[in-house]
Structure 1
Amino acid sequence: MNGSSPGVENGRDHAREQGSAVAWVESPLQMLCAVEAHHAGLLGAHARVVPRAGLRPLVVTGREISRLGLPGGLELATPEPGMPRPRRGTTWVVGDAFSGKVQSGWLTALPGRIVIVDDGLATIRLLELLTGRIRTPLLRARATANPLRAGLRSALGTAAGLRLRAAARSGRLSIFTALPVPAELARAVRDRGAELVTHDFAWLRSQPLRRPRPEERTVVLGTSLVRNGLIHRDRYFTWLAGLGSSEPVAYFPHRREDPHDLAQVGEQPGITVYDGGIPAEMTLRGLAAEQRVLSLPSTAVTSLRVLLSARGVTVETVDVPEEWWTAQAAPSLRSHLSMFAHHDTGATA
C-alpha cells in the first residue's frame, strides 16, 4: 500500500475541485483515517473533523493527534451529539456507512462528494455490497435483526445503496482504506465508478515516537467479539489465562470491551491491562523487533503489520476455534473475519 499511488493523485485533483470537507467520526480509527485522508489530499484545502460527543476514546485520540500536530488545513472541532449537516456541495467524510443517521443524511441532503474511511471489518462488507445487485441494501453483517426494525432498515439501506452507487457512477465517491482489498473486489469497485485509494498511514509514520512501549514481549489486542455475543466469554478467558501463565502479557483493550470483562482480564495471572482509548496503530507503533502482537481477527492486525513490518515485529492472527463461536455469529461475519486470519501463518488459540 502506498500513500503516493496514482489513486491519491486523483484524490488530490478532486480535493482541489471540492475545496473543503466535513468529517463525522464515531471511533478512534475513523478519526485517525480522516486525518490520513486529509494528509493524502482527498479532502481539500480545509477539512473539519467533528467527533461524536460523549465518547472518551474520541477525546483521548483527538488529544493525542493534536499533541503530534494536526496537518495544515485540518481542524479538530468540538464534539457534537449528532452528525452535522454540511453545506450543499461540501465533501462529506464518514466511516460508518451502515449508520441509519449517515444513510438518512445521504438521502436528505446533496453532498458534493462522499469519502468513506475505514471503520473496521465493515469497510470490506460495504465494498462487497456496493458491487452487488443494484438494489442490494447496505446492512451490517449480523446473524439476527430486530423484526420490528428489519423492514424499515432494509428500505433505508436499499435507498442509501442506490444513492451511493449513483455517486460512484458520477465520480463522486471515494473509499480510502488501509485494508487488504482482494484484487477482484477492487476491480469491481472501480468498475462501478468509485475511486479506491489505499494508504499506509503515511501521516502517522511521519510523526515522532513519543509513547513508551510496553515492557512485555507479548502484546495482546482486546476484542469486541465477547461483548457482541459472537464468541463464548469462558473460552476467551481460558485462552488468556493460558497465555498469562506462560509469560508476562500486555493487554490493550478494545474500546467496546465491557468494564467487568476487563476487570476479569486484569485478574488473570501474568496479564497487565493497559489504558485503552487511543487506536492500537498509535499506541503500539514503537514496538521492538523482539516483541510480538497477538490478536483475534481485526482491522488492527492489518494496519499494525503495515506500521511494524519495517521494525521486524511479528503481528499474529489467532484463528478462532469452532467451539468459541456462539449461535449469533453469522457465517457471513465469520467469512469476513477469516479474511484477516489468513494473511499470515496465524497463531492457534
Structure 2
Amino acid sequence: MNGSTPGVEEDGRRRHAREQGSAVAWVESPLQMLCAVEAHHAGLLGEHTSIVPRAKLPALAATRRELKRLALPPGATLAQPEKEMRRPGRHATWVVGDAFSGKVQLSWLTAFPRRVVIVDDGLATIRLLELLGGAPWKPLLRARVRAGVPRATLGLAAGLRLRTAARAGRLSIFTALPVSDELAAAVRRTGAELVLHDFAWLRGQPLGEPRPGERTIVLGTSLVRNGLIHRESYFDWLAGLGADGPVAYFPHRREDPGDLDRVRRQPGINVYDGGAPAEITLRGLSSDQRVLSLPSTAVTSLRVLLTPRGVPVDAVEVPDDWWTADAGPSLRSHLQMFAHDQTGVPR
C-alpha cells in the first residue's frame, strides 16, 4: 500500500473546505454512500454535501437508515432517493463512485462540473486507477466488457475528459483500498489527487451492541453469480464451515436469490438480512469472533476497523480449481491481492 498516512492532510483539507463550496454525491451502492460521508468528513468536498442515493435499491435504503442513526459530519445531508442522476451546477463538486457508468460518462461530456471526486466502488476503483495511470488512449470501460463502437467511443471520450480534469487539478480519488506505490505514483503523475483514508469518521462512531452472536461471520460473495467460481466448490466450502457451526452469513447484495435460499438450507448457517455495508453492520464485533471472506474489498476495510480491536479478518485465497474459464489471470490477480495475510483456508 502507498506510504501516505491517511488523515495526515485532513486538517488542511478542512481548512480549505469553505473555499470548495458545495458538493453533490450520486451514490449507487452502500460502499459509495459510506465513502461519500467519509470524504465529506475528511474535508475533501466542501462545507455542504448532499448525498443522493439512487432510488429503488433496497441496499441503499438500508444503508441510509443505518447512517441516519449515527452522527453525520456537520454539513453532510442524506437526500431523498432519486430515479435519475442529479447533476450539480458547474460550480459544485461532483462525487461519484461508478466512473464506468454510461450515464455518468455522458454527463461528463455535456456538463463537466468544476471538480470531480471519485469514491470507492469495489474492485472497479483499482481498475480505474490502472486505466488513469496507463496509456492515455485507453477507454474507461469495465473489466471483461465487450463494448461496441458507440460504447467504446464514449469510454474513450470520458477518459480524455477525466484526464484533462486531472491535469487541471480538478480530479480527486478517495479510497481505502490497497494501492501500490508504483500505481499511486502513476496516478499522481497525471495530476490527479489520490487520497487514502482509513474510515476515520466511522471509527469515531459508537460501536453499539456486538452483533451477530455467532463466533464465525462469513461475508457472501458475488463471484458465484458472476460465473467466476464454481457453485459447487463454494457450497462444499460453506458446508464444511456449517459443520463446525454456528456461522453467521451476511449476503452480498448481488447474490443470486436462488443461491441465497440454498445457503439458508445449509445446516449450521444462519443468514442475516443484508443491505448496509459490512463496515457498518459488523463494526461492533468482539475479539472472540472472526470474519471469513473470499477475496473482497470489504476485507481491507474491515481489517482497518476490526484488527486494532483484536478481531481477525481472514481472507480465503481461492484455490485454482474453484475458478471458471471466465476468470482470467488478470482478474484472479486483482482479487487475490485482497487475500494477502490470510489465515482462513478453504476446507
TM-score (norm 1): 0.95
1:26 aligned onto 2:24: no
Q: What is the aligned length?
A: 344
- Alpha-carbon deviation of 1:3? 4.1
* Other-structure match for 2:174: 176
Match of 2:179, SS state, is coil
- The one of 99, 106, 118 equivalent to 2:101 is 99
- Alpha-carbon deviation of 1:345? 4.8
- Alpha-carbon deviation of 1:13? 5.8
* Other-structure match for 2:7: 4
Q: Distance in 1 between matches of 2:95 and 2:305?
A: 24
Q: Deviations over 1:77-133 (max 9, x none)?
A: 111111111111210000011111111111111211100000001111110000111
Q: Which runs of 5+ in 2 are unaligned?
A: none
- Alpha-carbon deviation of 1:50? 0.4
* Other-structure match for 2:129: 127
- Alpha-carbon deviation of 1:16? 3.1
* Other-structure match for 1:230: 228
Q: Distance in 1 between matches of 2:265 and 2:17?
A: 50
1:157 aligned onto 2:159: no
Q: Which runs of 5+ in 1 are unaligned?
A: none
* Other-structure match for 1:68: 70
* Other-structure match for 1:302: 300
- Alpha-carbon deviation of 1:74? 1.0
* Other-structure match for 1:329: 327
- Alpha-carbon deviation of 1:36? 0.4
* Other-structure match for 1:83: 85
Q: Distance in 2 between matches of 1:14 and 1:348?
A: 48
Q: Deviations over 1:51-100 (max 9, x none)?
A: 00000110111011011122111111111111111111210000011111
Q: Distance in 2 between matches of 1:343 and 1:191?
A: 30
- CA 1:10 to 1:125, structure 2 compared with 1: closer, same or farther past 3 Å? farther
Q: Contact 1:25/1:94 (CA < 8 Å) preserved in 2?
A: yes
- The one of 276, 283, 286 equivalent to 1:285 is 283
Question: Amino acid of the residue matched to residue 95 of structure 1?
Answer: G
Cα RMSD (Å): 1.5
Detail structure 1 runs of 4+ shifted over 6 Å in the superposition.
Answer: none
Q: Distance in 2 between matches of 1:344 and 1:13?
A: 39
Q: Contact 2:210/2:286 (CA < 8 Å) preserved in 1?
A: no
TM-score (norm 2): 0.95
* Other-structure match for 1:36: 38
